[in-house]
Chains A and B, each alone.
Chain A
Amino acid sequence: MLEQMVHTHIGDPTVEVDGNRSVVITGRCAITLYSETEMRVRCGGLTVRISGDGLELCTLDEAEMSIVGLIAEVGFLTGER
């Protein structure tokens, strides 16, 4: 528990990947790129990049964002503003 707390950084998003069908990002995020093949979501100093096919924003609110579609890759881009 203590170890987990040490590795958790304040402001970082929580990314939950459910198979290759759904990704849920929890935290304050902003969309920087939105297309059917690629999505970029900025969360604090980190940008989450999701690529795939037929991507769709299922839910979008202040605290949570869920993306569905055929997900091929989930990556993190650091330093990109």
Chain B
Amino acid sequence: MVSRWIRLCGGILTVRVRGAELERFLNLCTQARIRLRRIERIDIDELHAEISLYDFYRLARLKKRKRCRVHILRRRGLPFLLHRMRRRYALWGGLLLVCLVCYQLGTRIWVIEAEFPQGVDGYAVLEELDNLGIGIGTKCADIDVHAVKVHMMTTLDDLKFFALNVDGNMLFIETAAATEAPEVDQNKGVRSVVALRDGVIDKMIVRRGTAKCKPGDAVLAGDILVDALVEPKDEQQSELGTAQLVDANADIWATTRYAVTRKMALEAEKKHETGASKTRYAICFGKTRINLYFGSSLIQGNCDRIISIETVKLNDHLALPISLYRETITPYTTEPVIHEAADVQAQLEYGAQRAVEAQMVEGSVSSMQADVSEENGAAILRATVWCYEQIAESVEDGRTDADLPQKTEQTDES
């Protein structure tokens, strides 16, 4: 099949050969490396065959030797098509115009894909790019990636990293936010570690300071867990130095307990689809939208509206400035329904768990014991949640060097 298409590109002729010695004609063609296909013996002195245009010109040179007459019955393929249409100037002009338009479209940016992590002002980045003249429709060749990167890094303070990649006619923007210096480095002074909330200690990792409790101890919120005052441990240290105040640092993991109450109204509204969904289409050329439907884009009444946008792409790197908008509109009405308390228990438990997780600095929920009751048309969940979490909190210690115990100097009296 593919080989036939290739042969059609070069042009195929169906010829009729007449002569007394057709076998000799075929053998001469073979010797001259003229390739014949679909040879069909029509009569004792006639055969039909397919031959390529190139071989046909070579066959013309053999005419005197073969003692046969060759007539063209049919012409097929690209060269004959082009020859037939050679006087259709408007067609050639249009084709040329299409090629030029495609070339021009392929040299411009039509899709911008950006990822802005937390801490990066995406709007500011895009606005700054717009000030530099980079946006939809900008010529790819006009973008100096290095210059843009330098400009963005010097202009926007919240950027730690900025990269601009032009791939085909798609522009990819990658950024990273400048992070502040670690908190430990900023804390200059004396700090102790206290308990953030009540709990039973499971594990302690003390990096600096003196531990005031041990695993298994029950602590209350605000209790000092690691003291900033470090005293010499043995006589040798005692001789070398004195007690000192440090910036205490530790991770304290403990089992904690939360009491959570959550409430949810039992009366709710339920959606009911009224009628069939309707799909509407629109085409977007660049920034111009053309609706392929009559009437306004606004919708009357309650409805769900799902919009999907598909950009026309030639491949992964080349996109055209044409997008197809597809809107699926499903009208609905609402009607009040009364739920049972047991029906909403799972939803309330999930909410309670999320609420507890939001209060934790680091850790997870271990178990939950919940009870649901119905009061005044609402479901009330009373839950006890056990967690395993980090309860260490670093706080300022009011002490100074003046508060340190004084070392008594011993003098030898002889």
Interface residues of A (CB under 8 A from B): 29-36, 55-62
Contacts and interface: CB of A to CB of B under 8 A. Distances in A.
Contacts of A29: 30
Contacts of B27: 30-31
A74 to B, nearest CB: 19
B67 to A, nearest CB: 16
A62 B33 contact: yes
Contact of A60 (B30, B41, B44): B30
B149 to A, nearest CB: 61
B22 A60 contact: no
B26 A61 contact: no
Contacts of B44: 35
Contacts of A33: 23
A61 B33 contact: yes
Contacts of A32: 23
Contacts of A57: 26, 36, 39-40, 49
Interface in B12-51: 22-23, 26-27, 29-31, 33, 35-41, 44, 47, 49
Contact of A34 (B33, B35, B38, B41): B41
Contacts of A34: 22-23, 26, 41, 47
B41 A35 contact: yes
B31 to A, nearest CB: 7
B295 to A, nearest CB: 62
B200 to A, nearest CB: 83
Per DSSP, chain A at the interface is strand
Nearest to B38: A58
A55 B44 CA distance: 14
A43 B103 CA distance: 56
Given A34-B23, A35-B44, A56-B39, 18 more contacts: A29-B30, A31-B23, A33-B23, A34-B41, A34-B47, A55-B41, A56-B40, A56-B41, A58-B39, A59-B35, A59-B36, A60-B26, A61-B30, A61-B35, A61-B36, A62-B30, A62-B31, A62-B33
Contacts of A59: 35-37
Contacts of A55: 41
Contacts of B40: 56-57
Nearest to A55: B41
A60 B23 contact: no
Interface in B376-401: none
Contact of A31 (B26, B35, B37, B49): B26
Contacts of B31: 62
B26 A56 contact: no
A60 B22 CA distance: 13
